[in-house]
Structures are given as C-alpha cells and as structure tokens.
Amino acid sequence: MAETRKIALTVNGRRHEVEVETRYTLADFLRQQLGLTGTHLGCEQGVCGACTVLLDGQSARSCLMLAVQAHGHEITTVEGLAPSSTGLHPLQEAFRDHYGLQCGFCTPGVLLTLVEFLRDNPDPTEQEVRVALSGNLCRCTGYAGIVAAALDAAKRLQGGARG
C-alpha cells in the first residue's frame, strides 16, 4: 500500500483532518479526495496555471505541490470565492459581464491569480494586469475579456471597499 500521512488543513474556511497518500499532488487531493473539481489540470507542469489556488493568500500551482505540503495551511479554491451559493464574487461578476470566459476551463486558475493580484494591486494598469495574467494560458478568449473583466473588477472591489 502506498505511504500515507495524516494532514490537517483548511480549505475554503473548512477544516479537514485527513489521511492522504504522500505522493498525491495538492490538485489531485482537492479534486479527488475533497471532490472540489473546480480546480483544473491543464498541463501538470506548472505552465498553464489552470490549477492555481491560494495558499495562505498567495497564488500557488496546486499541480506542483504535494498535498502533504499543505499541512497546516489555508487553501482557497474557486469554490470558495462566491459569498453564497447563489451570489458571485465581484470578480466573478465582472467575468460574466465582460465575457471573460468561453469554455471556462482556465477560468478558476485565472480568477484566483487575479484575486491575489487585485488585493495587492487594487488600481492596476492594463499592462500590469497582462503581466499578472502571463502565467495563465487561455486558448479561447485571446485574453481580451479577461483583461477587461480584471480592470472592471478592480473598480468594483474598490467601490465595495469604500461602500
């Protein structure tokens, strides 16, 4: 039997204490063991960015991390962004309104990359957004809708902070 370890971590605000195979990637653990299939795998090599999650608030490639490395940490996945089961995060709303997605496969990773980016850089230029997105591949949109959504989300998030 493959070697396992017990790990404790928080995912989307919920604490889990689970036995996990030591060789399982964080992405496979999230998808298969926790059933959080919103985190997607596009290359399993750290290039495409589809598997991006937040680890203690910092974006991380969940395909390049082992699940055991997440022990003691706090993970946010796309399932944890919306404030409620019917509502959307302002960034998600902006993506809907600007057609920032087509097939949607890269979208979870893009969203989490931008959550971190807009938190650290709340009033970015278009070029800064593009650089922030350069680690996320999208084959559908040509990035136009994604960039527009990110810039608009920055405004929405600032408005929300003021309000």
Contacting positions for other proteins (CB under 8 A): 1-2, 21, 23-24, 28, 31-32, 35-45, 47-48, 50, 77-79, 81-82, 88, 92, 95-97, 99, 101-108, 111, 129-131, 133-147
DSSP track, the chain: ---EEEEEEEETTEEEEEEEETT-BHHHIIIIIS--TTS--S-SSSSS-TTEEEETTEEEETTSSBGGGGTT-EEE-GGGTSSSSS---HHHHHHHHTT--SS-SSHHHHHHHHHHHHHH-SS--HHHHHHHHTTS--SSSTTHHHHHHHHHHHHHHHHHHH-
In whole angstroms, the minimum distance from the beta carbon of 149 to other proteins comes to: 10
Nearer to other proteins, 3 or 162 (CB): 3
In whole angstroms, the minimum distance from the beta carbon of 28 to other proteins comes to: 8
In whole angstroms, the minimum distance from the beta carbon of 15 to other proteins comes to: 20
Nearer to other proteins, 72 or 104 (CB): 104
